[in-house]
Chain A
Amino acid sequence: MSFKGYRRADGRVGTRNQVGIVSTVACANDVAQAIAAQVKGSVAFTHQQGCCQTPPDLVRVTRTLSGLACNPNLASVILVSLGCEGTDVDAVARAAAATGKTVEILRIQEGGGQARTLAKGLLLAQRMVMDASACERVECPDSDLVLGLKCGSSDTTSGLAPNPALGLVVERLTAQGGTAVMGEITEFIGAEHIMAAHAKDQATAQKILDLVARMEARAEAVGCDMRGGQPTPGNIKGGLTTIEEKSLGAIAKAGRAVVQEVCEYGERPQGRGLAVMDSPGREPELLTGLAAAGCNLIVFATGRGAPQGFPFVPVLKVTGNRKTWENLNDHMDLSVAEVIEGRESMPAAADRLFDTVRAVASGTLTKAEVSGYFKATDIYVTGPVI
């Protein structure tokens, strides 16, 4: 099977064809947003990082911004910098340029402030959007899909229908040579032995266990029971009692696919198949991490109804909760509540989900894209602001 995507100079395939206005530090967000607000076809990525952080976090911020700038859903990129930040802006530009796309850097301090930088940015963005508009969609095999996996605002229906349906899609996609990336390491706690058993070899299994131990140790270092943080108050209202229960439902979204590799946050998997990426479960950081890893589409399974999308990667919302499908319909793209209601088999629901993935990959808009509900983005950091 296939979909229609934008094949880029480096061979990767975009499901969208936008011009990225990427802020390289929190202090440049205002200019990035102002450019994107004026130029149709461009979209801003903003965050709160990039300055006064410890070196490991600055390395992670630079790596993540590089991954975002390289994402094939962006035809070209403008990096908006203040000029004095810790992010290595030139490294981000070099990484993006290596994919063959056009990259420009605007530095607000060098450029004479907001007004002059904005004027320059508007002209650049306008030209880039016009150049991008000449790109055409071409037939691409399913194996060009790089699917990000996410579940959020989960309840007990998540583990009964949307996550297992997504798991079947991932099994089928990876069997065809496609790629899937799974994060949310917090939501491996209590289920890591199952994910480790899905690893391709012992070394990969150990990397999964090490990532989970690192995440759990970070939470335990605070000296509290993490319940209330994970699972969240919403998860608990939805019937999820412990992190173990939440995790056992969450890992179903990878099915029984073999874990081929383990990546750091924002790092692009080297090969195809299922990759596990370090990340917390929270949306602003996790969705960014998946986009930086090169995902060209994200499937987001939800129970209580999470509205968040991402600026330039479509986020397809699927729910197994009938009440959520009806009450939050302006945020939901697909229902698989029929499985829980005994009216549809899991494989049939997975067929509908995969068909919807192909449609969205080919250009059908998600609810989050239409409503512009994708501005709460950030980059995962583990150290202090200093």
Chain B
Amino acid sequence: MIRNAIVIDATDTVATLLRDLAKGETVAAGLGEEVVTFPALGDIPFGHKVALHDVAAGAHIVKYGEVIGVATAPIRKGEHVHVQNVASLRGRGDLATEKETIR
């Protein structure tokens, strides 16, 4: 199957969509030549991210092989991963006293 989403690093928990996908359509997420397929659980726009695995609330989200944030709710494989279920760990003046360090 031709990929419609791209995985940048083997350790990533998300893939980036190369076109709009509607709920129920098949995500074909490619890392190099290897492609994995699973259904999209909701409508997800071009350029946005889809979960490659189930992710527990509080777990790190990984893209480029690096931590890009933390899940604020449980995320299921195939679900849209964005600001509604991921928070940043950095630039958080609101959390200044309980800041998590990822260096």
- Chain B residues, Cβ within 8 Å of A249: 64
- Chain A residues, Cβ within 8 Å of B17: 239
Interface residues on A, range: 35 or more
**Residue A155 is within 8 A (CB to CB) of chain B in the complex:** yes
Closest to B3 in A: A342
**Residue B94 is within 8 A (CB to CB) of chain A in the complex:** yes
Closest to B16 in A: A156
Contact A243 B91 (CB under 8 A): yes
**Residue A193 is within 8 A (CB to CB) of chain B in the complex:** yes
Q: How far is the CB of A319 from chain B (nearest CB, A)?
A: 12
Listed stretches A58-66, A214-222, A345-353; interface member: A214-222
Contact with B along A327-367 (1 / 0, CB 8 A): 00000000000001110000000000000000000000000
Closest to A194 in B: B66
Of the residues B16, B69, B88, contact of A160 by C-beta under 8 Å = B16
Contact B93 A222 (CB under 8 A): yes
Given contacts A236-B83, A241-B49, A244-B68, contact A220 B88 (CB under 8 A): no
Listed stretches A4-12, A110-118, A225-233; interface member: A225-233
Closest to A192 in B: B103
- Chain B residues, Cβ within 8 Å of A157: 47
Question: Measured between alpha carbons, how far is A25 from B87 in the docked complex, in Å?
Answer: 41
Contact with A along B87-103 (1 / 0, CB 8 A): 11111111110000011
Q: How far is the CB of A342 from chain B (nearest CB, A)?
A: 8
Contact with A along B52-92 (1 / 0, CB 8 A): 00000000010110111100000000000111001111111
**Residue B6 is within 8 A (CB to CB) of chain A in the complex:** yes
**Residue A264 is within 8 A (CB to CB) of chain B in the complex:** no
Closest to A212 in B: B90
Q: How far is the CB of B5 from chain A (nearest CB, A)?
A: 11
Of the residues B16, B48, B61, B91, contact of A219 by C-beta under 8 Å = B91
Contact A244 B93 (CB under 8 A): no
Contact B96 A223 (CB under 8 A): yes
Contact with A along B1-14 (1 / 0, CB 8 A): 00100101000000
Contact B16 A190 (CB under 8 A): no
Q: How far is the CB of A177 from chain B (nearest CB, A)?
A: 30
Question: Measured between alpha carbons, how far is A156 from B17 in the docked complex, in Å?
Answer: 9
**Residue A36 is within 8 A (CB to CB) of chain B in the complex:** no
Closest to A224 in B: B93
Question: Measured between alpha carbons, how far is A225 from B83 in the docked complex, in Å?
Answer: 12
Contact B47 A191 (CB under 8 A): no
**Residue B18 is within 8 A (CB to CB) of chain A in the complex:** yes
Of the residues B45, B49, B87, B92, contact of A220 by C-beta under 8 Å = B92
Given contacts A223-B96, A236-B83, A244-B69, contact A155 B88 (CB under 8 A): no
Contact A248 B63 (CB under 8 A): yes
Contact B94 A190 (CB under 8 A): no
**Residue A238 is within 8 A (CB to CB) of chain B in the complex:** yes
Closest to A193 in B: B103
Q: How far is the CB of B47 from chain A (nearest CB, A)?
A: 4
- Chain A residues, Cβ within 8 Å of B6: 160, 340
Question: Measured between alpha carbons, how far is A220 from B91 in the docked complex, in Å?
Answer: 6
- Chain B residues, Cβ within 8 Å of A227: 83, 88, 91
- Chain B residues, Cβ within 8 Å of A245: 63, 68-69
Closest to A341 in B: B18
Question: Measured between alpha carbons, how far is A230 from B82 in the docked complex, in Å?
Answer: 15
**Residue A126 is within 8 A (CB to CB) of chain B in the complex:** no
Q: How far is the CB of B80 from chain A (nearest CB, A)?
A: 10
Of the residues A160, A192, A230, contact of B91 by C-beta under 8 Å = A230
Given contacts A219-B93, A220-B92, A248-B63, contact A156 B48 (CB under 8 A): yes
List the 3 closest pairs (A to B, CB-CB), nearest first: A226-B91, A220-B93, A239-B47
| Chain A residues at the B interface, C-beta cutoff of 8 Å | 155-157, 159-160, 189-194, 216, 219-227, 230, 236, 238-239, 241-245, 248-249, 303, 321, 323, 340-342
Interface CB pairs A-B, < 8 A, 14: A219-B93, A223-B94, A225-B87, A225-B95, A226-B88, A226-B93, A227-B88, A241-B49, A241-B81, A241-B88, A242-B88, A244-B66, A245-B63, A323-B46
